[in-house]
Structure formats: C-alpha cells, structure tokens
A and B are shown apart, each in its own frame.
Chain A
Amino acid sequence: MSTIDWVFFHTAVALFAAATVLGIVGARSGRRGPVAATRAALLGAVIALGFMLARHGMESGAFPVANRFDALVFSCATLALLALTLDLVRGLPILSVGAAPFCFMDALVAATLGMPTAGATAPASAWVGLHVVATLISYGLFALAFIAALLYLVEQRQLKSGTSTSLLGLMPSLETFYRLLLGSLGGGVALLTVGLVVGYLFARRQGLPEGWRTDPKVILTTVTWVAYLLVYALSFTRALKGRRGALASMGCFFFVMTTFWATAFWTGFHKYV
C-alpha cells in the first residue's frame, strides 16, 4: 500500500471509529450535536475511501475493486453512503448511527487483511465492472436491510415492554423501518439479479473454464438470491409481516456473509488475491 493510500485508508478507519463512538453518545443522550458529528465523520470516511479507490482505478487503468481488500472497502463505503443519503433525505439520523459500527467493523477486517501486493486478478471488462458493482451495492443494501431489521426489532421490543429511552427518541416509526427494510430488500434483490445475470452472460460469452457453474461463490450467491427473493415476497403477506419478516431478513444476511467469505476460504475463479 502506498503512503497516500495508507493515509486515506487509516483516516477512514479512524473516522468510522469516531462515528461509532459519537453515534452511541448521540443515541444515548438524544443530543443533536453528536449525531451531526457522526454524519460528518461518515461523510469524511466515504470521501477518503472514494479517493483511495479512484486512485487505484487510475493507476491500474481497470475497475478498482479487484481484490478482497477493495471489495470490503467498497462495501463499507457503499453502506455508509446509502445510510447517509437516506438519513439526510428522509431525516433518519438513526441510520447513520446504526451504520457506523458496521462500517467500522468492515474497515477493521479490511485493515487486518491488508492490501495485497499482487496486482488485480479480475478481467478488465465493463461487464465485470457492472457485475461487481451491482453485486457489491446489493450487499450494501442487504446490510442496510439488516440494520433496519435490527433497529425495527429494538424499537419493537422497547414498545412492547412499555419503556421509553433516549434511543427511542431518535428512532422513526416502526412503519418507517419496515418500509426501509422492504425498500432495501427490493433494491438488493433487483441489483443482485442484475449482478447474477451479467455474470452469467459474461461467463457464457467469455467461455470460462468448465465447472464455473459449481463454483462455491456462484452457488452461494444463487442461494442468497433465492432466500432474499422469498423473504421479500413473503414480507407482504401475513406470514412474514412485521417481526417475523425482520428476523427472516436478518437471517438471510448470514448468506451474504458466507458468500462474501467464500471468496476467502474456498477455491474457485472468484477467489480474490
């Protein structure tokens, strides 16, 4: 990692850490100052990571997400950006507060793995770029759905127990969380569909080696897609409306994590450097 990348990346990690702490303080006290500072820290981190990825792209002349480190960085930047945008557009500060610890953990994992010294392994193709971006943004949306479901369950528990805390003061309505959950699931499923279709077409056209259909990443991603599609469809019915829908969508996130880590532990052409 070059010095400038090191500075950008570690600044982002520090800003995610600061956003996490400030978010906790803001959620507990209900004060506006720490929440505003959380937003600022998240925005700073997104900008720093954006610069870093842009530099990679310009230096390599290819799509910048070419290894696991980049994928982790891209995912947490996407999640932070989605949460910030929804926070500012819809007035949902709890999303920035909720996204900050996830982004921090994601960035910490990336820092632990470190940036690989070898070059990019992904083919330099616009189709691959679209496939990677659509898939990673869908993961970001699924992470957002996970956060919305978690917050929905926290708020539901507080309402059920008849308690009111400062965290509840910062929370929007359960209906807002549920709509956000459905929106994130719907967007995630749509983008993952795009990612899968583009990947399939690319594999067919480029004549990838035999056995790509049984690659663990391909299988797990397909399972993830089916699981989310089912949960999304059933969330509109009485069977999965409300708490059960939130729990099911949180359960589905396990597949996303598995899919993501399949690239690290299972061999296949999706294996990152």
Chain B
Amino acid sequence: MQLFVVGVNHTRAAVALRERLAFAPTELAAALRSLRAALHSSEELILSTCNRVELYVVRDEPGGLPESDVAAFLASARGLAAAEIEPVLYAHTGPEAVRHLFKVASSLDSMVLGETQIIAQVKEAYHAAKEAGHTGRVFNQLFQRALFVAKRVHSTTAIGDRNVSVPSVAARLAEKVFQDLSTKKVLILGAGDTGTLTLRTFKERGVTDILVVNRTLAHAQELVARLGGHAQPLDQLAHVLPVADVVIACLQAPEPVITPAMIHAALQARRGEPMFLIDIAVPRNISPEVNRLDNVYLFNIDDLEAIVNQNLVERNRQISAALPTIEAEAAATLKDIELVDIEKVLVQLRRQCHDIGDDEMKKTLDRLGLAAPQREEVEQMVRRVLNKVLHTPTTALKEEAHNGRSFTLIELALRLFGLHK
C-alpha cells in the first residue's frame, strides 16, 4: 500500500491555470472513477479549492506514481495540454503526503494562513469521495485524523486570530467599532477591483445593506447587479453619507472627495452615532483631518498594511507552534495505517493455513501411498476445504478494514491465528 498526493497550488500555478484545473462538486464522482481507471488505485480523493487542486491516491501496486501519469489524467479530464500541467505539479509520498495533508487541512499551506474555510473544503472532498465509494481503510482514517488535527491546531494556537488581507482587516476593524455589522449600512466608494473585493468581504460578514457610489453610475450598477446592494452616482455622496455607518473609499481621484465638513454634517444628521471610515485609495479619498472629529475612526492603506504585516509575522510564529502537533499526529497516523495492513494479514493467514494443510496432507499421502490421480484429488479437496473455511473470515476482515470503523476484529484475528502485524 502506498499513499500519494499530486497537485498544484497557489504557489506553483497562476489563477488562470488553477481555475481551468478546478473540479466542480458535480464533476467529482465521474472524475474519481476516471482517476481510478487511469492510475489503477484503490482509494482516490480530489481536493479542489480556489487555491489548489490535489489528487490523493492509495495504490496497492509497488513502485511510484509518475507525475506524467497524473498530468496526463488532469490534461484529459480538463481538456488541457499535459506539458502545461506537468512543470507546476508537486508530489509527496508516504509520510510526506500525510504531513502535507495535515498542513493543508490546518491552513498552514493556505494563501491566507489560518483561514478556516479549508477545513470545510477538506471535509466536503472527503464526503464526496466516501459517498462515491472511493475511500477505504486508509482514507477513512487519514482524513478523519486530518480534520481532527486541523481543529486541534486552531484551538491550541492563535493561528486563526488575525486577518492578513486588506479587506478582511478592514472588516475586522469595523467589527471593533460596531457590535453587529449585519445591521449596519456600508458605503463603498469606487466600483473597481478593490471595491468588488471589499463588497464581497463585507457580504461574507453578513452585511446586506451596501451602497456603491461611483463616478460612473453604470459601473456601480453593474457591480450591485452581480453582488447585491444599491448604486448611487458620486454627486450624491454628501446626501448618502449620513446613512452610512461604514465607509470604504477606493476611488481613483486626484484629491480627497470626503472632507471634514462633509463628515461633520453627516455626524450632525446622525445625532453623533459613530462612523468608521477606511481609505484604501492612493491618492487618498478622505481628508486625514476627519479623524480629529469625535466618534469618527479613520484608517488609511498604510495603517491597514501595517496591521496586515504585523498579523503575518504573528501567524508565521504560530506555524512554528503548530508544527510539533502536525509531526506527532502524522507519526501516529502513519503507525495506525501501517499497523494493520489487511492484505498482509490475509496473505499471512492464507499462507499459514495452507502450510499446515500441506504439511498434514503430505504426511497422510505418504502413509496412504496413493496413485498420482488420487493424490491430486485429495490435495484439491484439502485446498477447497481450507478456502471454504477461510472465505468467511477473509470477507469479514476485508469489510472491517474497508469500513475503517474499528479494528477489533482484525486485532482478534491476529491474536487467534498467531499472526504478526
């Protein structure tokens, strides 16, 4: 039995290639069948997220897994040229594959270190493979352990406590001002890429009341049509400002479009309710003097990037704290997987029974002095008896191992027949 993981991730391949390699959930069952046929494997799992496409495979055949075979499979499955895929593939085998999976599940290998979405993605990939009948003893143990390790890493380290992208830091800071962002109105100034990303981030945080203000109204309307919210032209900014609890400014403008006078007027209209402003535009959209007003909190891109960098340093420190857990769990998992290799147990069991049968048969046949055809008949009868006797325990042991639920029966068989692990 050999475990392999082959794939591409955000460090090896650009998003243009990753999105073409990605498998939709509805495609997984068919892809797993093709993978089994292509690689002659016994267990298969495909982990496809926006940051990675990884194929996890267990093969009973000895020898390695050529990356060219995987590249050929991916090429044919996704309609790409193998030459385009092979250079960016990475592969891990055995213990290294286990460690890699544990790091992936714990988000130590993620673009945004410490993010928790990957745990759900690993779980979904495992369930998809299990439902399609592509997991067995190894994957049932390995992936359940990977999910356990991920939760343990998150609960015993502070890896998930800090945000490391500008929009996520912006949203986190807004949560430092307001108790429940979902009840607040967010105004996004600018409908470009940053505005889109920010809108997505705030929507993920449960914000539903979003207003996009842009110089070109059509762009704002196109954005809200895609992602939700309302659109307003830039000349309406002063009128809509008082209703906004959070303002994120990312507009291309040569000088500030939000002045202290505008915010002062907005505060008057809001009866002193606080406002949270984030200026991620360069040049700045919001005059820095605004921060001097009471109940107004202004952050600019430098403030946010300083926090992002500070959080990255802290998270990298947390990786070192998580590694011993991963090492220990990987070693324990490998021991468990190696502990009871059912095929080895069955081969040993059959060999032992047939050796006993052959010995006893030889002694008996020597005593009886039978002719060759009779000897052959007796030999076949003994083998048939042994095979019939062994059929039920063999089936039960295989089933037990395939389910991966409990190894009690296997342990019992080892003890009853005096076999070695």
With the chains together, A175 CA to B183 CA distance in Å? 12
A28 adjacent to chain B (CB < 8 Å): no
Assess the B294–A243 pair: CB atoms within 8 A: yes
B334 adjacent to chain A (CB < 8 Å): no
Residues of chain A lying within 8 A (CB to CB) of residue B179: 172-173, 175-176, 179
Mask: chain B, 276-306; 1 = CB below 8 Å from A; 0 = not: 0000000000000001001101011001001
User: Measured between C-beta atoms, what is the minimum distance from B260 to chain A in Å?
Assistant: 15
Mask: chain A, 214-243; 1 = CB below 8 Å from B; 0 = not: 000000000000000000000001100111
Assess the A171–B176 pair: CB atoms within 8 A: yes
Interface members, chain B 148-171 (any A CB < 8 Å): 158, 161-162
Q: Which of A78-86, A126-134, A156-164 contacts B (4 or more CB under 8 A)?
A: A156-164
User: Measured between C-beta atoms, what is the minimum distance from B284 to chain A in Å?
Assistant: 13
Assess the A241–B162 pair: CB atoms within 8 A: no
Assess the B303–A162 pair: CB atoms within 8 A: yes
A30 adjacent to chain B (CB < 8 Å): yes
User: Measured between C-beta atoms, what is the minimum distance from B305 to chain A in Å?
Assistant: 11
Given known A-B contacts A162-B303, A238-B271, A244-B294, A173 and B175 have beta carbons under 8 A apart: yes
Residues of chain B lying within 8 A (CB to CB) of residue A30: 158, 161
User: Measured between C-beta atoms, what is the minimum distance from B187 to chain A in Å?
Assistant: 18
B272 adjacent to chain A (CB < 8 Å): yes
Assess the A31–B176 pair: CB atoms within 8 A: no
Given known A-B contacts A174-B274, A241-B271, A242-B272, A159 and B178 have beta carbons under 8 A apart: no
Q: Main secondary structure on chain B at its contact with chain A? A: mixed
A169 adjacent to chain B (CB < 8 Å): yes
With the chains together, A104 CA to B273 CA distance in Å? 36
Assess the B176–A173 pair: CB atoms within 8 A: yes
Mask: chain A, 7-21; 1 = CB below 8 Å from B; 0 = not: 000000000000000
A239 to B, closest residue via Cβ: B272
Assess the A169–B161 pair: CB atoms within 8 A: yes
Assess the B161–A241 pair: CB atoms within 8 A: no
A245 to B, closest residue via Cβ: B272
Given known A-B contacts A30-B161, A238-B272, A241-B271, A174 and B299 have beta carbons under 8 A apart: no
A106 adjacent to chain B (CB < 8 Å): no
Residues of chain A lying within 8 A (CB to CB) of residue B311: 164
Residues of chain B lying within 8 A (CB to CB) of residue A175: 177-179, 274
With the chains together, A241 CA to B275 CA distance in Å? 13
User: Measured between C-beta atoms, what is the minimum distance from A152 to chain B in Å?
Assistant: 11
A70 adjacent to chain B (CB < 8 Å): no
Residues of chain B lying within 8 A (CB to CB) of residue A174: 176-178, 274
Mask: chain B, 189-208; 1 = CB below 8 Å from A; 0 = not: 00000000000000000000
User: Measured between C-beta atoms, what is the minimum distance from B70 to chain A in Å?
Assistant: 42
Assess the B272–A241 pair: CB atoms within 8 A: yes
Residues of chain A lying within 8 A (CB to CB) of residue B306: 162
With the chains together, A242 CA to B177 CA distance in Å? 11
A168 adjacent to chain B (CB < 8 Å): yes
Assess the B295–A241 pair: CB atoms within 8 A: yes
Assess the B177–A243 pair: CB atoms within 8 A: no
**Interface size of B by Cβ–Cβ distance < 8 Å?**
25
Most chain B CB inside 10 Å of its own CB: which residue of A30, A169, A175: A175
Residues of chain B lying within 8 A (CB to CB) of residue A160: 291, 297
User: Measured between C-beta atoms, what is the minimum distance from B131 to chain A in Å?
Assistant: 36
With the chains together, A197 CA to B358 CA distance in Å? 102
Residues of chain B lying within 8 A (CB to CB) of residue A242: 272, 274, 294-295
B1 adjacent to chain A (CB < 8 Å): no
Residues of chain A lying within 8 A (CB to CB) of residue B144: none
User: Measured between C-beta atoms, what is the minimum distance from A175 to chain B in Å?
Assistant: 4
User: Measured between C-beta atoms, what is the minimum distance from A32 to chain B in Å?
Assistant: 8
Assess the A241–B158 pair: CB atoms within 8 A: no
A238 to B, closest residue via Cβ: B272
Residues of chain B lying within 8 A (CB to CB) of residue A173: 175-179
B75 adjacent to chain A (CB < 8 Å): no
User: Measured between C-beta atoms, what is the minimum distance from A247 to chain B in Å?
Assistant: 11
Most chain B CB inside 10 Å of its own CB: which residue of A162, A179, A242: A162
With the chains together, A172 CA to B303 CA distance in Å? 20
User: Measured between C-beta atoms, what is the minimum distance from B313 to chain A in Å?
Assistant: 12
Interface members, chain B 224-276 (any A CB < 8 Å): 268, 271-274
B413 adjacent to chain A (CB < 8 Å): no
B11 adjacent to chain A (CB < 8 Å): no
User: Measured between C-beta atoms, what is the minimum distance from A158 to chain B in Å?
Assistant: 9
User: Measured between C-beta atoms, what is the minimum distance from B128 to chain A in Å?
Assistant: 34
B173 adjacent to chain A (CB < 8 Å): yes
Mask: chain A, 145-168; 1 = CB below 8 Å from B; 0 = not: 000000000011001101010001
User: Measured between C-beta atoms, what is the minimum distance from B12 to chain A in Å?
Assistant: 32
With the chains together, A159 CA to B175 CA distance in Å? 12
B245 to A, closest residue via Cβ: A175
B300 to A, closest residue via Cβ: A162
B310 adjacent to chain A (CB < 8 Å): yes
B307 adjacent to chain A (CB < 8 Å): yes
Residues of chain A lying within 8 A (CB to CB) of residue B158: 30-31
Assess the A159–B310 pair: CB atoms within 8 A: no
Residues of chain B lying within 8 A (CB to CB) of residue A156: 297
Which one, B178, B273, B297, B300, contacts A241 given CB within 8 A? B273
Residues of chain A lying within 8 A (CB to CB) of residue B271: 237-238, 241
Residues of chain A lying within 8 A (CB to CB) of residue B295: 241-243
With the chains together, A243 CA to B176 CA distance in Å? 15
With the chains together, A31 CA to B310 CA distance in Å? 16
With the chains together, A31 CA to B161 CA distance in Å? 10
With the chains together, A164 CA to B305 CA distance in Å? 11
B162 to A, closest residue via Cβ: A169
Top 4 A-B pairs, shortest CB-CB distance: A162-B303, A238-B272, A241-B272, A175-B179
Q: List 19 A-B contacts (CB under 8 A).
A: A30-B158, A156-B297, A159-B173, A159-B176, A159-B177, A159-B297, A162-B306, A164-B307, A171-B176, A172-B179, A173-B176, A173-B178, A173-B179, A174-B274, A175-B177, A175-B179, A179-B179, A238-B268, A244-B294
11 further interface pairs, Cβ-Cβ under 8 Å (given A162-B300, A174-B176, A244-B294) = A30-B161, A155-B176, A156-B297, A159-B176, A159-B297, A162-B303, A164-B307, A168-B176, A169-B161, A173-B176, A243-B294
